[in-house]
Chain A
């Protein structure tokens, strides 16, 4: 009897472990592409949590399901179950194991956070955490001959504007964020009006932007492609429309793009919030309640779109 119980438990544990490991592998496919060094770290951590979570979930619900299937009272069986009121050993075990797990998970998460070293808001309160670990993915920005200056990100209701230091020191503006691949990027995040959130799902990175503050934010894009930047902190009426594209390209392409952009004459970019606001003002379609009017379309050197239907630049 005892032997059979042990075999059953061991068998169940092996099955659970296999299922959990499989789920942990599946977890990678639930994300957008891994486009930054940080995303790799986060995906590994998440996969680990999924595996662990699957084990616990299946363990508990499996026991519940087993009870529901095999411990049903008969139709006319009005007797009670065994009056077991507790088991000290068991209770100590299921307190100690979660404590150990929590310390493990939190420690692992701490390590990942340190490695990411996105740094952002720490400067805001002038309290520096001692750097216990070097940022694994930082590369000196000078390689490839790129300027080591920051890109300024300006958020407002409801537009993103990116400011690059141009070759001649002028302010080159764009409504599309262009970044060189495999370089540590430094952003300076600012907001003109309310809270916004800088969020690129493919980078797995997010940071709220607070008006009247400049928040430094760092990361390393590692994959060439075009990704979405979304506002992640609710910012009012046209919140959902506040999106922009992030183009990660080779350093050569990046330099070429910056040179091209700086030579362009600033022109108004297409802005969805402003477009929708004006359209509803003109056509007297069903209007909702009064809203804060969107800022006029930003006038920038480089705009991927001038009109809603214009082809991509």
Chain B
């Protein structure tokens, strides 16, 4: 690679402030450019993805043998608590907010988010959350060991008796993460409602924007409920109130309602944007319009609505009356209708297309397959009698890892590869991308598929030791877990080396249709020289119609 011209290194990346001397420094500044903030989110959260992955490998290391012999039980409990917390609050949420931050203004033809300073403030809370979470390892008593649900009374038991303990730090971190998410949600909703380019009606918006809108609405109505529960829990721990203390009349089950009223919809906060990613990527690499665009778009909002009335399915085996179990079984299963519509639409999109299996497409296709599987086990879990058996077993762990890893992480990878040329102005290395894909898919299957049979056999989740009959499946899962750890290496290598010295990317290397592909890679600070005037629906593949009426004016030097 010695013959790379020197200009290629300084190249087209002098953004966001034209003429800035060291442009990497902007990623460490209080920048208000949504594109810088987007990348800040993605990179920061990826660091925490690695931290959470390390915790996961300690968990899998302990579980490779039936006895609790690798780490102390308290350490194991801290590991699964922090694994879940880090992966949700410091990886999945922020990375998707990062993607949305980068893409939404570009996709709707805006120059930035509605409130750029609020946007930056929301991002800089993420490192604070991370530092708080990590610092809990160094307080007496160690980090929270009550699981990421923090169910009382276990979360109220404070064996060291100190005021500053892992659980309190955990609650503070979650609260700050909540404030950051609310700020982000207000910003996204305002941006999508108020900043759309001329001609960009709701039914001309890409599905990704629809799904981000649907997801952020969930944050707005869901997070406050979690905050309410968290405030009460914090008061119980610190001031001795009795909201959730059974011994003085409190009701621990009420906490579960508060918690799941947000935390189930939270899964859709993660999944919806990924559905958006699938809807963006599949048409590009299949060269066909998204099948049933309007229905797919609207089904996102239906999911938002339904997500608010299903939370009790996490509590079928909890202290819930029978009528409540039955009612929520019906609502839970009804979610499969709008999600089914999406799956069938994606299948119909690629059927009869002209497929090109680049890395983003591979991840998207595998993500859809994993999601179909997760959806089917989800219906099983929605059925009360089946759930009575598998609730709180590894079957559930397998199911939701197929969602959060098999679907969401796959979608995130697909998105990163797909928009990498746009974000950096460089192409990634296709070969390394494929290696990364196959390692990830094999690792995912090996890690999470065996959790289903072992759960059906009756292995509870969150155990540090188990009966020997479960050993076979656990060994497989552990090997898969280590493979997943390994799979991040080609990805990191690919990203770093391509960003430094990858081949220059044109403004639209995938021949994709969308406003973001009409301008330079990476886009200039203000995105569009002149705001685009949108004249057609997205995904016009094979139709040969213009997307905007003022193509020539969009950027200074259209390629």
CA distance A87 to B345 in the complex (A): 10
Mask for A184-227, Cβ within 8 A of B = 1, else 0? 00000000011101010110111110111101000000000000
B336 touches A121 (CB 8 A): no
* Chain A residues closer than 8 Å to B540, beta-carbon distance: 83
Of B319, B368, B383, the residue contacting A208 (CB under 8 A) is B319
- Check B28 for interface membership: any CB of A closer than 8 A: no
Q: Is the CB of A288 within 8 A of B458?
A: no
CB contact under 8 A between A64 and B350, given known A86-B291, A206-B392: yes
Q: Which of B140, B372, B377 is A290 in contact with, Cβ under 8 Å?
A: B140
**Residue B456 at the chain A interface, CB threshold 8 Å:** yes
CB atoms of A84 and B384 under 8 A apart: no
Known: A215-B319, A230-B460. A64 touches B368 (CB 8 A): yes
Q: Is the beta-carbon distance between B542 and A82 smaller than 8 angstroms?
A: yes
Among residues 272 to 299 in chain B, which have CB atoms less than 8 Å away from a CB atom of chain A?
286-295
- Can you give 22 contacting A-B residue pairs, CB < 8 Å? A42-B388, A60-B369, A67-B351, A68-B365, A71-B355, A72-B355, A73-B354, A98-B337, A109-B384, A124-B321, A127-B323, A201-B458, A233-B392, A234-B462, A236-B146, A241-B465, A280-B72, A287-B72, A288-B72, A288-B75, A289-B75, A291-B159
Q: Say yes or no: is B347 at the interface (Cβ < 8 Å to chain A).
A: yes
A15 at interface, CB cutoff 8 A: no
Q: Which of A110-118, A144-152, A167-175 sits within the interface?
A: A110-118
Residues of A within 8 A of B348 (CB): 84, 87, 90
If A98-B340, A237-B77, A240-B466 touch, does A30 touch B453 (CB 8 Å cutoff)? yes
Interface positions of A from 231 to 262, Cβ below 8 Å from B: 231-241, 243
Q: Which candidate, B8-16, B147-155, B168-176, is the interface stretch facing chain A?
A: B147-155
Q: Is the CB of B388 within 8 A of A94?
A: no
Interface string of A37-51 (1 = CB under 8 A from B): 001011001100110
Q: Cβ of B125 < 8 Å from any Cβ of A?
A: no
A82 to chain B, nearest CB (A): 6
- Contact (A95, B337) CB under 8 Å given A42-B388, A78-B511, A291-B74: yes
Pair B329/A106 contact, Cβ less than 8 Å: yes
Q: A60-B372, A206-B392 are in contact. Are A288 and B246 (CB under 8 A)?
A: no
- A235 contacts which of B154, B291, B292, B345 (Cβ < 8 Å)? B154
Q: Interface digits, B299-339 against A, CB 8 Å rule (1 contact, 0 not)?
A: 00000000000000000011111110110011001101100
Pick the residue among A85, A95, A204, A291 that contacts B388 (CB under 8 A). A204
- Complex Cα distance A64/B78, Å? 41
**CB within 8 A of A237: which of B140, B145, B326?**
B145
Chain A residues with CB under 8 Å of B380's CB are 46, 49-50, 53
Evaluate contact between B386 and A289: CB separation under 8 angstroms: no
Contact present for B317 and A210 (CB under 8 Å): no
Among A197, A212, A215, A228, which residue has its beta carbon within 8 angstroms of that of B246?
Answer: A212
Known: A195-B154, A286-B72. 6 other contacts (CB 8 A): A68-B365, A71-B355, A81-B288, A83-B540, A106-B330, A113-B325
- Residues of chain B within 8 A of A212, CB atoms compared: 246-247, 249
A105 close to chain B: CB less than 8 A: yes
A80 contacts chain B at the CB level, 8 A cutoff: yes
**A105-B379, A113-B326, A212-B246 given; A237·B293 CB < 8 A:** no
Size class of A's contact patch? 35 or more
B322 touches A122 (CB 8 A): yes
Smallest CB separation, B521 vs chain A (Å): 19
Chain A residues with a Cβ under 8 A of chain B = 30-32, 39, 41-42, 45-46, 49-50, 53, 56-57, 60-61, 63-64, 66-68, 71-73, 77-87, 90-91, 94-95, 98-99, 102, 105-106, 109-110, 112-113, 116, 118-119, 121-122, 124-125, 127, 129, 193-195, 197, 199, 201-202, 204-208, 210-213, 215, 228, 230-241, 243, 276, 280, 286-292
Closest 9 CB pairs of A and B: A201-B458, A288-B72, A288-B74, A289-B142, A240-B463, A80-B542, A83-B542, A53-B376, A73-B354
CB contacts (< 8 Å) of B288 on chain A: these are 80-84
CA distance A228 to B351 in the complex (A): 49
**Residues of chain B within 8 A of A53, CB atoms compared:** 376-377, 379-380
B379 in contact with A64 (CB, 8 Å)? no
Complex: how many Å from CA A205 to CA B341? Answer: 34
Chain B positions 62 through 96: 1 when the CB is less than 8 Å from some CB of chain A, otherwise 0: 00000010011111011000000000000000000
Task: Determine whether the beta carbon of A99 is less than 8 Å from that of B337.
Answer: yes
Given contacts A53-B376, A109-B383, A195-B154, contact A289 B78 (CB under 8 A): yes
Q: Is the CB of A102 within 8 A of B542?
A: no
Contacting residue for B141 out of A79, A116, A118, A290, CB 8 A: A290
From residue A181, how far is it (CB to closest CB) to chain B in Å?
A: 20
Q: Return A111 CB to nearest CB of chain B, in Å.
A: 9
Contact A113 B289, CB 8 Å, known A49-B379, A236-B145: no
Which A residues touch B457, using CB under 8 A?
30-32, 201
| Nearest residue, chain A, Cβ from B81 | A234
Is there an interface contact between B357 and A72, defined as CB atoms closer than 8 Å?
Answer: yes
Which of A31, A116, A243 is within 8 Å of B456, CB to CB? A31
Q: Measured between alpha carbons, how far is A66 from B348 in the docked complex, in Å?
A: 12
Q: With A91-B341, A205-B388 as given contacts, are A67 and B372 in contact (CB-CB < 8 Å)? A: no
Chain A hits for B73, CB < 8 A: 237-238, 240, 276, 288, 291
Q: Which residues of B contact A199 (CB under 8 A)?
A: 392, 458, 460
Q: Which of A112, A119, A236 contacts B385 (CB 8 A)?
A: A112
* Distance to closest chain A CB from B54 (angstroms): 18
Chain A neighbourhood of B391, CB < 8 A: 206, 232
**Most B CB atoms within 10 A — which of A106, A118, A127?**
A106
**Cβ of A41: which chain B residues have Cβ within 8 Å of it?**
385
Instruction: Give which listed residue, B77, B157, B317, contacts A207 with CB less than 8 A.
Output: B317
Asked if A106 meets B333 with Cβ closer than 8 Å, knowing A64-B369, A81-B541, A206-B389, the reply is: yes
Nearest-CB residue, chain A, relative to B291: A86
Interface centre among B291, B343, B460, B511 (most CB of A within 10 A): B460
B340 touches A73 (CB 8 A): no
Would you call A42 and B320 a contact (CB within 8 A)?
no
| Contact of A94 with B344 in the complex, beta carbons under 8 Å | yes
Determine whether B194 belongs to the interface, using a CB cutoff of 8 Å to chain A: no
Contact A237 B74 (CB under 8 A): yes
> Is B393 engaged at the interface, CB distance under 8 Å to the other chain?
yes
- Asked whether, in the complex, the Cβ of B369 is within 8 Å of the Cβ of A61, the reply is yes
Which single residue of chain A is at the shortest CB-CB distance from B332?
Answer: A106
